[in-house]
Structures are given as structure tokens and as C-alpha cells.
Amino acid sequence: MQDTDHQTPMESSQPSPSLPAPSTRRSGFFSAIILSPGAGLAASALAALLMLLLRVVAGIPTPMELFGDFVLKHINTGTFLQLLQKFSPYPKLYPLGLALLGMIALGTVLGILYAAIVRVKVPANSYRPGKNEWLTALAFSLVMTILATVLFWNELRQNFFGLPTDLSRLTTIFGLLADFVGYGVVLCLAYRAILPKVIVSGSTNEVASKRRLMLSRAGVAVLSVGGLAGTAGFVRTFLDGYSSYDGDETFPQHQVTPAITTNADHYVVTQNPSDPTPNIDLWRLEVTGLVKNPGTYTFTEVQQLPSTSRPITLQCIASGIGGHLISTAIWQGVTLRTLLEKHGGPASNASYVAFSSVDGYTMSLPLDEVLMADALLAWRMNGVDIPYRHGYPMRVLIPGRYGEENPKWLTRVELTDHFVGGLYADQGWYNGPLHTMSRIDHPADPLPVGKAVEIGGIAFAGNRGIQMVEVSTDGGQIWHGASLQPPLSEDSWVFWAWQWTPMLRGTYTLVCRATDGTGAIQTSHIQGTVPNGGTGYNHKTIQVM
């Protein structure tokens, strides 16, 4: 077998007739530097392939996703919206794709740094990396893993197959290590493979040696192309799980909103480019932190907890005036109060409850408020297991709060003595009681003059309830009290209606406004959704002929 350049006795002890002249050596060094990105490309292409492979077969988040989550937590709502617009219509995929390309580019360029550090004598007389090269490559792998671990520490605890929090953090670190060791090993071997070699001219082996060098360079090129092609293949598999339903709305049917939204029609919002699909055998619910007796549940055990069910309306903070990111389902689960009682109750210094989800989503609220709202940890939605996109196998419902504070894919409930941030809280979105809203769903125009018609729609104020809804047909000058249907529950929307007979032809501006259970009237102040949630009255222009 060949030995490495550093240890070759021939080279160090006796001058060889084949030893190149100094000028050739220098040009050899330059060609080595020029060739090194080739090794870097092969290494990063294969590392990218490994990252996507681990994502698809083990649910380990890719460094691109970790990077994305990290960035999203460190920008404000304004920048967040700019990015959404900039990368529309694929605000999640474009940045992820760019991050992937950026990483491959970085790994390619790092090949030069590697070449400059190891300074292999060129032409080399061996295909085998020396100890020094292995150690350098290993150092690259470790530094990359450590940097990524430190930088993404708060993002590491996610796993798309639903592993519990601590285990998922460990698996992600292992994944990063595997990715970067893969990168280092390929870099080390590929660099050797493409380096110019000492070729003893005139020897019988000359042709064979040249052939071997050509083949090994071709091998590295094939590895790069194969790695990139494989990566593209896995990107496609990843895209199969793409959350294209993000932002789906719930619309009235024939101008009437069904009281209970079906699971298929329930609005959807998700932070994830591709949502988790928890494996029920791996998933756990953990009750930890400042609770008297911490504990862990399997899904079977969760389903044996005492449960209640009730209709709860969810609304996204981004729904806006007259918006449709609002739906109502019957949720069944255990109340937080009951669950904590089973664990001996909160310790005296527990003041917050923090929720963590398998997609790395975190959220916290004052414990007292959540207990008062009778928050539900649900595992059934409209009588069936919660669909994946709505948080299978378990999600939190906090009546009175916007959707962002209703974590899906729950895996840990932790009592703390401090506020725990998360994606939207860190960006600076409002996290107080949701604003009272009301929406006109019917009638649709044009309307015949002189004929009675019903004006109606929904009103919602979270767990404050709705006391009154008023309607105006003249843009808000004269108001009429609408009749209310009994609420489906304390935490649901309310249906209202008012009979109207337009007596004159013309254009009318219908407006509605609600008064919540505390007697506070909905504000007419027009405010956009960012960052505090939209306010103002829903207007609807109607032609009467």
C-alpha cells in the first residue's frame, strides 16, 4: 500500500530523479488550491444528502430548518412580513432552498481553507490522507457541530416523528454530528483523490498512474453530481410533505357559517414548511417543572385521563377585519387544572405554564390566567383523533387567546417561575386577550327593494362571550339590536341576525359591531393585523334594486 507524503521515506531521505523542479512544485500548490473547492463541493453535496436522508427517515430537522427557525425568532414582525412578501408565493420554500444552496456554497469554499491548513506537498505521492489531514477534517466536523449546537440550542428540541423534548435535542445534535463528520470524511478523501500525484516518468507505471488519477478525479466529480442529484431527490420527498394548506380559511356556505366547522374545513396556520407527523409509539406527554409530582404519559395513558368536551372557537391573530381564519370545533381532552391536580398541583413558586411542541414551538402564559380560562389539553377534534395538521396527537386550547397561543403537537407542559418566549412572542406579536370581532356573512346583493331580508353573521370575543350585536345599514349612524342565538359554549362564536326591509333603491353600507360579556363595545379604531391583531368594524356594501 502507499504511504502518506509526510511519512514517505523515499521522499525525505533520498533525492529522487522524479522529484519535480521547484517551479512545478509551486504551480502544484496553486493547482491544489484551485482543485480544493472540488473536494469541498463533493463533501457538501454528500452532507446535504445525509441531512435530508436523516430528515426523511428519522424526523431530524435539517440545519436549514434550524437556521430558519433561528432567524425567524430574531426578527421583528415588520421584517417577518417583508420576508413573507419577498418570498411569496412560497415564503417558506424559497428561503429554505436558498439556505440549502448557501450551505453547499459554504462547504465548497471551506475546501480552500482546508487545503490551506493541511498544506499537502504537491504533487502528492499517495491517495491516502495523512494523520494531520484526518485531524484537520475531524476538527472541521467538530467545530461545525459545536457552532451549530450553540447557535441553534433553542431550536434543537424538535423532531418530526414526535420524540420527547430532551431526546429530540439529543437526536438533533447527533444528526448534526453525523452530517458534519460525513462532510469531513468526504472532504479529506476527496481532496487526496483529486490532488496532482507524483508520476515517475518513463516508468512502466506511468500510464497506469495517470489513468488512476483521472479516474479518481472523475470519481469525485461523480460523487458531487450524485450527491446533488440525490439531494434534489430528497428535496422532492420533503416537498411531498409541504404544508401547502398553510393559511387555508373557513368560508361561509351559501352566506351562512356552519356552527361547527368540519375538520376538513377548519382553518390552518403553521410555522412549518413541512409539518410533523408524530409516531404514536415515540410520542410522550411530559408534565414537568415546578409541579409536585412530575410525570410522563403515553398516548394510551393520555386517553384514559378524565376528559370533557366543548365547542371552542379558534381565531388567528392574522385573520383581520371580516377575515376567515376563524373556525369552531368540538374539542375533547383533559383540563389543565385536572391534569395538574393529578400531579399534586403546582409548587408555590410556579407562576407560568410553558408548553413545548414537537416542532420546537414554545409558548407560555401566566398560570392563573390559563387555569381560569379552563384550558384544555385535547386529543380529539369533532369526535376523531386530531388530524396531523391540527396538532395530532395532542394540542392546547386556551379560550380567550389568539390561535398562536394554542400550541399544536404538544409534548411538554412545564410549570416555571418565569415567562418563556417563542416564535411569535419573540417577534413581538401581541399576546393579550383577543379583540372582540363581528362579521357580516349575509345577505349577498343585489337585493330587491321592499322585500324582507336577514342580515346576519358571527361575533366572537373569546371567553368573554357576546352580550349584544348591533347592525347599521347606513354606514354606522343608526344602530339596530340584532337577535342572538344561544352560544354553543362559553368559548365559542355567536350567531346573530336582524330582519331588514330596504324601502329605497340604492347603495347601502352594512356595518356590525359587538359588545362582549363584560359590556365593552367592540372598538371602531381601524388597526392592521401587525403586530397587535386587527380591529375596526366589518363593512359590506349592498345594492338594492
Ligand X SMILES: Nc1nc2c(c(=O)[nH]1)N[C@H]1C(S)=C(S)[C@@H](COP(=O)(O)O)O[C@H]1N2
Residues that bind ligand X (CB under 6 A): 266-272, 314, 316, 357, 359, 361, 390, 403-404, 406-409
Is the Cβ–Cβ distance between 160 and 56 less than 8 Å? Answer: no
What is the spatial distance between Cα 240 and Cα 387, in angstroms, rounded to a whole number? 17
Q: How far apart are CB 324 and Mo ion at their closest, in Å?
A: 13
Residue 288 or 356 having the CB closest to Mo ion: 356
From 98-106, 312-320, 348-356, 357-365, give the range in contact with Mo ion by CB under 5 A.
312-320
What is the spatial distance between Cα 365 and Cα 397, in angstroms, rounded to a whole number? 12
- The residue count of the chain comes to 545
Q: How far apart are CB 403 and ligand X at their closest, in Å?
A: 2
From 75-83, 247-255, 311-319, 501-509, give the range in contact with Mo ion by CB under 5 A.
311-319
Nearest to 407 by CA among 382, 387, 378: 378
- Stretch 262-281 residues interacting with Mo ion (CB under 5 A): 269
Residue 316 or 482 having the CB closest to Mo ion: 316
- Take residue 268 and report the three cell numbers written for it: 390552518
Among ligand X, Mo ion, none, what does residue 422 contact (CB within 5–8 Å per kind)? none
What is the spatial distance between Cα 306 and Cα 339, in angstroms, rounded to a whole number? 9
Q: How far apart are CB 318 and Mo ion at their closest, in Å?
A: 6
Residue 159 or 272 having the CB closest to ligand X: 272
| Secondary structure of residue 386 in the 3-state scheme | coil
Provide the Cα torsion 233, 238, 243, 244; round to 10°.
0
What is the spatial distance between Cα 179 and Cα 170, in angstroms, rounded to a whole number? 14
Q: How far apart are CB 317 and Mo ion at their closest, in Å?
A: 5
- Stretch 313-372 residues interacting with Mo ion (CB under 5 A): 316
β pairing state of 308-315 and 362-366: unpaired
What is the spatial distance between Cα 412 and Cα 530, in angstroms, rounded to a whole number? 29
Q: How far apart are CB 165 and ligand X at their closest, in Å?
A: 13
Q: How far apart are CB 211 and ligand X at their closest, in Å?
A: 56
Q: Does 397 bind Mo ion (CB under 5 A)?
A: no
Residue 42 or 269 having the CB closest to ligand X: 269
Cβ-count burial 48-70 (b if 16+ within 10 Å, e if not): bbbbbbbbbebbbbbbbbbbbbe
Among ligand X, Mo ion, none, what does residue 359 contact (CB within 5–8 Å per kind)? ligand X
| Secondary structure of residue 72 in the 3-state scheme | helix
What is the spatial distance between Cα 118 and Cα 126, in angstroms, rounded to a whole number? 15
Among ligand X, Mo ion, none, what does residue 271 contact (CB within 5–8 Å per kind)? ligand X
Q: How far apart are CB 263 and ligand X at their closest, in Å?
A: 9
Nearest to 422 by CA among 480, 380, 359, 368: 359
Is the Cβ–Cβ distance between 189 and 216 less than 8 Å? Answer: no
Is the Cβ–Cβ distance between 447 and 502 less than 8 Å? Answer: yes
**How many CB atoms within 10 Å of residue 149?**
16
Q: How far apart are CB 316 and ligand X at their closest, in Å?
A: 3
| Secondary structure of residue 415 in the 3-state scheme | strand
Residue 361 or 392 having the CB closest to Mo ion: 361
Residue 141 or 328 having the CB closest to ligand X: 328
Residue 403 or 456 having the CB closest to Mo ion: 403
Residue 270 or 538 having the CB closest to Mo ion: 270
Q: How far apart are CB 271 and ligand X at their closest, in Å?
A: 3
The residue at minimum Cβ distance from Mo ion is 316
What is the spatial distance between Cα 126 and Cα 495, in angstroms, rounded to a whole number? 80
Among ligand X, Mo ion, none, what does residue 411 contact (CB within 5–8 Å per kind)? none
Which DSSP category does 399 fall into? T
Residue 234 or 361 having the CB closest to ligand X: 361
Q: According to CB under 5 A, which one of 404, 414, 441, 470 is a site residue for Mo ion?
A: 404
Among ligand X, Mo ion, none, what does residue 409 contact (CB within 5–8 Å per kind)? ligand X
Which DSSP category does 274 fall into? B
Q: How far apart are CB 269 and Mo ion at their closest, in Å?
A: 4
Residue 69 or 404 having the CB closest to Mo ion: 404
Residues that bind Mo ion (CB under 5 A): 269, 316, 403-404
